[in-house]
Amino acid sequence: MTDTTLHIGQTLSFDASPFDAGPAVARHSARGAILVEDGRIAARGEADDLRARNPGARIEDHGAALLLPGFVDAHAHYPQTAIIASWGKRLIDWLNSYTFPEEARFGDPDYATAQARLYLDLIVQNGTTSVCSYCTIHPESVDALFTAAQARGMRIWAGKTCMDRNAPDDLRDTAQSAYDDSAALLARWHGRDRLSYVITPRFSPTSTPDQLAALGSLWAERPDCLMQTHLSEQTDEIAWVRSLYPEARDYLDTYESHGLLGANGLYGHAIHLEPRERARLAEVGAALVHCPTSNTFIGSGLFDMDGLMREGQRIALATDTGGGSSFSMLRTMACAYDIAQLRGRALHPAELLWLATEGSARALNAADRIGTLAPGSEADFIALDLASTPAIAQRAARAGDIWEALFPTIMMGDDRAISGVWIAGARCKGAA
């Protein structure tokens, strides 16, 4: 029997990227609706019209709440949940002081399971319905996250983080074991329900050339998978890469020369890029992932959103938990706005929202399934309260259009603004 529900509220959707065509490509309805049938969006339109055409549908009226696609977080480290907001370190010190000691705990399946469940609960409460996450070197950490996501019906991407040098002994694998473990996990999980495996070298400093080559070989064998890593996050990191790979033309070349550059590649941070790197990334159609709260929290630098977009780069948005200081994509959008302002560009609310939904879904090659309210998409969506706190409410009350109403929530909102969350059509936050 078909389960059909008509969700009524304000709706907002995009005909194209607002970075390409401006905010006029957005379509707002003050009284819109989405029709959900068996976990998918069957129709989107005006509430009265869809109600008349679907008299048997169950009605959920969300009043003035804004119905949006669930947020898509394109780069996170779920094993760093417990160390989020740890004080005062640069990247390399952060890894040694906080990240590596915490990640060493994930060889314990019970601990990994508890942290995976907690992490997914936290992001769902903040309106994130899909995430692409690094795990640890332990296969148990991958199993834990995929099992927890499968129980929630979530579409996620994840992979075993591979490191065979410049890490503690208990967090190092080898070139061969990285390949073997990754291949086995890929075979176990990739394409199962809404789960996808991602080949995951942490970054060039913690992988030998042999390990990068082994993972490049696996990617060549399974080009349908995504590959995720880090690139040019901090200047001292870049200097470290130069010392470890003196023959490389630049940081990107350490990946390119080992088969780890391609259209299905996700390159986190990408702040301090050389002209050749920018040209090659655009040429192959790789995706860059902007992690603004992380970049400010650990002092990495200012991402060149405007310049990279004008070059035609594919760009996603991400929390980078736990170097990132929030689980919230609203907070992430606000920080992206702040960083762009420091580079002389005021990002429009349409651009920020697009990055956190369809833009990130495009980077994950999943915009046909998530990140939009288009008919045929999987019904991952949220209801956003545009008056969730007194400060936001008094500002939104003066709004002359949807953007003025939405922007205060982007800049000041938190989990209180997420009044409802649905994953594959099933409610997982908010009163029925």
Q: How is the chain split into domains, by residue range?
A: 4-70+373-429, 71-363
Interatomic CA distance for residues 112 and 142, integer angstroms = 9
Q: What are phi and psi of 98, to 5 degrees?
A: -120, -50
pLDDT at 90: 79
d(CA 370, CA 357): 8
Residue spans of the chain under pLDDT 70: 1, 431-432
Rounded CA separation 339/206 (Å): 29
Among 76, 18, 78, 68, CA closest to 44: 68
> Measured on CA atoms in the order 375, 377, 379, 381, is the torsion positive or negative?
negative
Q: How many CB atoms are closer than 10 A to CB 135?
A: 27
In angstroms, rounded to a whole number, what is the distance separating the alpha carbons of residues 167 and 175? 14
Residue type, 353: L
The pLDDT of residue 89 is 79
Our separate counts of H helices and E strands in the chain read 18, 16
Q: What is the DSSP string of 229-277?
A: EEES--HHHHHHHHHH-TT-SSHHHHHHTTT--STTEEEEE--S--HHH
CA distance 196 to 157: 5
Q: How far apart are CA 194 and CA 411, in angstroms?
A: 31
Give buried/exposed letters for 3-22 (b at 16+ CB in 10 A, else e): eebbbbbbbbbbeebbbeee
Which of 154, 140, 8 lies closest to 70, judged by CA? 154
**Are 367 and 164 spatial neighbours (Cβ–Cβ below 8 Å)?**
no
Given the DSSP bridges, would you call strands 40-46 and 26-37 parallel, antiparallel or unpaired?
Answer: antiparallel
Question: What residues contact 206, with CB distance under 8 A and at least 6 apart?
Answer: 163, 164, 165, 166, 167
Does this model's pTM top 0.85? My answer is: yes
Residue type, position 337, single letter: Y
Q: Name the burial class of residue 223, with classes exposed (0-12), middle (13-18) and buried (19+) by CB atoms within 10 angstroms of its CB.
A: exposed
Structure tokens, 106: 């994930």
Match domain 71-363 to its CATH number in 3.20.20.80, 3.30.360.10, 2.40.50.140, 3.20.20.140.
Answer: 3.20.20.140
- Which phi and psi (to 5°) does residue 75 adopt? -165, 110
Whether omega for the bond prior to residue 322 falls within 30 degrees of 0, making it cis, is yes
Length in residues, the chain = 432
H or E element that contains 297:
helix 292-297
Cα(203)–Cα(94) distance, integer angstroms? 15
CA–CA gap between residue 250 and residue 336 (Å, rounded) = 26
> Which candidate, 266, 296, 254, 298, places its Cα nearest to that of 92?
298
Q: From 3.30.70.270, 3.90.1150.10, 3.40.50.970, 2.30.40.10, which CATH number describes the 4-70+373-429 domain? A: 2.30.40.10
